[in-house]
Structure 1
Amino acid sequence: MSRVVVFDEFGEPDVLHVVEEPVAEPAPGEVRVRIEAFAVNPLDLMVRSGVSFAPVPLPHARLGIEGTGVVDALGPGTTGLRIGEPVLLAAIPDAHLRGSYAEHTTLPASQVVARPAGLGVTEAAAIWVGYSTAYGALVETAGMRPGDHVLVTAASGAVGRAAMQLARYLGAVPLAVTRHTAKKDELLAAGAAGVVATDHEDLLGAVRELTGGTGADLVLDLVGGPGQQELRKAARPDGTLVAAGFLDPRPAPSPGSGALTTIGYRGFDHILDATVVARMAAFLNAGVRHGALRPAVDRVFALDDVAEAHRHVEKGLHAGKVVVTAHAR
């Protein structure tokens, strides 16, 4: 038997509960992964609360789009992987059926990648969503170049931290945006070349000062909502804004008719493309090997405490990813 986190109704974290189910056999072309740990992402909280973009059938829905473990069974005809190989779960578009909040899951072999050497289990559980999103938005979509000033909102979150590390690794200049002056030192230590704290600073003026008056070449907006209008003003007139976040559910203003390029980005735009995933995995492996890319883990919970892990994320005070260990048997 395998322990799985499910929910039968939408609501607060207490709707999550652990059940035991038979261990599924992988279908042709699939693998079964014995999950060692998984991360809690904002999307998980939205799904559990019933406010996600895609419909989630109830009851007995699963959660989780990120995790790590080892391959413990191969479906008929599955090649390229071996039993016992450590892997990352790279894409779970049907998380309500195969989510990573479990001791085991099965998924197509194309949706796992090798775990980067040198990462512990909790770090590995926390790395894929943040870094693949940052890479997909900044490199694959926006074509970030060395020397670009890259303005990152929600910079203290997992994707924001990944974006700053990634920008530095490729020779760009990451500029962090936070609502709290108290987070300045933390963000500088996390890789920001400059920090704008909007509780005490004017965003436009501060960005102009940090960029020598030119404005940001790229803006990675991980928040969304009406505040996006000020971000556009802080960008170069011919720059690029990538809208990749939904923390503010209010509508963002229309891009208008200026020269600024505005692009909407969602992680699943790329992580179901095997060619792009291969580039992401190669980039991630190189960055980890050189010590340039490393996820921050805020706190680790046990599977039985998954509801508490959700409550901790909802408080918004975490500095890095919240991870849950699955303790597969």
Structure 2
Amino acid sequence: MGRVVRFHQHGGPEVLAVETIDVVPPGRGEVRIWIKALGLNRAEALLRRGTYIETAKFPSGLGLEAAGIVEAVGEGVASFAPDDIVSIVPPLSMVRWPAYAELANFPTELLVKHPPELGFEAAAAVWMQYLTAYGALIDIAGLRRGNVVAITAASSSVGLAAIQIANRIGAIPVALTRTSAKRRALRDAGAAHVIASHEEDIGARLAEIAGSNGVRVVFDAVGGPAFEPLTKAMSSGGILIEYGGLSPEPTPFPLLNVLGKSLTLRGYLVHEITRDPARLARAKTFILDGLSDGSLKPIIAKTFRFEDIVEAHRFLESNEQFGKIVVTI
């Protein structure tokens, strides 16, 4: 038996409940984990509300990130053993492989033996943010030393991961945030420049920062009207990678900017990396090396207890956090 978080209907955080269920033994190629910490993601709030790319099957579990200790291994598993310290790469389906649980089974390809000194809370805050940012900036955009990269929703865990990755390779991260309230924290987190999008002219500030070279990469989680000034500030042949859609307003297609500069506008999901073994292996190496040398360091906004999952989700949707929200078990 083990406790899990499930929901029986779509809705706000209040539909989440901690329940006790039977936990089946790990199947062939699977490992059962004593989970010690969970990393929260906006995707889980979307699944809970019924607006995610995946459909819940009631009663539905949820969760994409966890860290813990191997409790048992299934048939055919040779690469992991009981007491191994592991963290979870986000699965293709959180309905099939939900992480909000005390005990959960995962296929071995989702497990990583992270550095033990990282600690469970930090390890639970690693894979979604760094894989998402790495896949967009390094794997797809080919971000290079000296490139200017504009990062929207910069105070999110993925935004902060993008800032750290840009700095690690010598690029110039420009953080976009709604107001000046998080300006100091973003500079302390490594942003070379910070733009308060509700207070400043985005296009003018980006032009001032990037100069004649323009912004080669835009990493955007928002969409909406900002597409126009963002693309206007981009360099010829630049790429805008869209991985979210936080703006409630329509997103215009900036036709003249796209045509005049031969821009690439590309949608992106982290699953592009996680379902490709070769690309995932390269990403793991980059991220583990960065964790080891200290250039990548998860920033945790706040930690909640497992019993307080409803409050954790309320905080997740408040947009007040700076970094990752973690739940401990």
Give the TM-score taking structure 2 as reference length: 0.95
| Equivalent residue number for residue 51 of structure 1 | 51
How far does residue 225 in structure 1 lie from its aligned partner after superposition? Answer: 2.8
| Distance in 2, Cα, partners of 1:131 & 1:210 | 25
Decide whether the 8 Å contact of 2:39 with 2:325 is kept in 1.
yes
Matched, 1:203 2:202: yes
Unaligned runs of 5+ in 2: none
- Write out aligned runs for 1:165-176 (5 A): 165-176=164-175
Among candidates 271, 276, 283, match of residue 274 of structure 2: 271
Decide whether the 8 Å contact of 2:85 with 2:116 is kept in 1.
no
| Equivalent residue number for residue 284 of structure 2 | 281
Stretch of structure 1 that moved more, 256-265 or 137-146: 256-265
- Write out aligned runs for 1:32-111 (5 A): 32-58=32-58, 60-111=59-110
| Equivalent residue number for residue 315 of structure 1 | 318
Residue 288 of structure 2 aligns to a residue whose secondary structure is helix
| Distance in 2, Cα, partners of 1:114 & 1:279 | 15
How far does residue 250 in structure 1 lie from its aligned partner after superposition? Answer: 4.7
How far does residue 255 in structure 1 lie from its aligned partner after superposition? Answer: 5.5
| Equivalent residue number for residue 124 of structure 1 | 123
Matched, 1:293 2:292: no
The amino acid that maps onto 1:232 is T
How far does residue 310 in structure 1 lie from its aligned partner after superposition? Answer: 0.4
Decide whether the 8 Å contact of 2:86 with 2:114 is kept in 1.
yes
| Distance in 1, Cα, partners of 2:91 & 2:84 | 19
| Equivalent residue number for residue 140 of structure 1 | 139
The amino acid that maps onto 2:327 is V
| Equivalent residue number for residue 15 of structure 1 | 15
Residue 269 of structure 1 aligns to a residue whose secondary structure is helix
Say how many residue pairs are matched. Answer: 325
| Equivalent residue number for residue 30 of structure 1 | 30
| Distance in 2, Cα, partners of 1:264 & 1:271 | 16
How far does residue 105 in structure 1 lie from its aligned partner after superposition? Answer: 1.2
| Distance in 2, Cα, partners of 1:145 & 1:239 | 12
The amino acid that maps onto 1:18 is V
| Distance in 2, Cα, partners of 1:266 & 1:216 | 22
Stretch of structure 1 that moved more, 182-191 or 244-253: 244-253
| Equivalent residue number for residue 217 of structure 1 | 216
| Equivalent residue number for residue 5 of structure 1 | 5
How far does residue 98 in structure 1 lie from its aligned partner after superposition? Answer: 2.3
Decide whether the 8 Å contact of 2:90 with 2:127 is kept in 1.
no
Stretch of structure 1 that moved more, 290-299 or 246-255: 246-255
Matched, 1:163 2:168: no
Q: What is the percent sequence identity of the aligned residues?
A: 38
- Give RMSD over aligned pairs: 1.4
Q: CA separation of 1:255/1:24 partners in 2, compared to 1, >3 Å: closer, same or farther?
A: farther
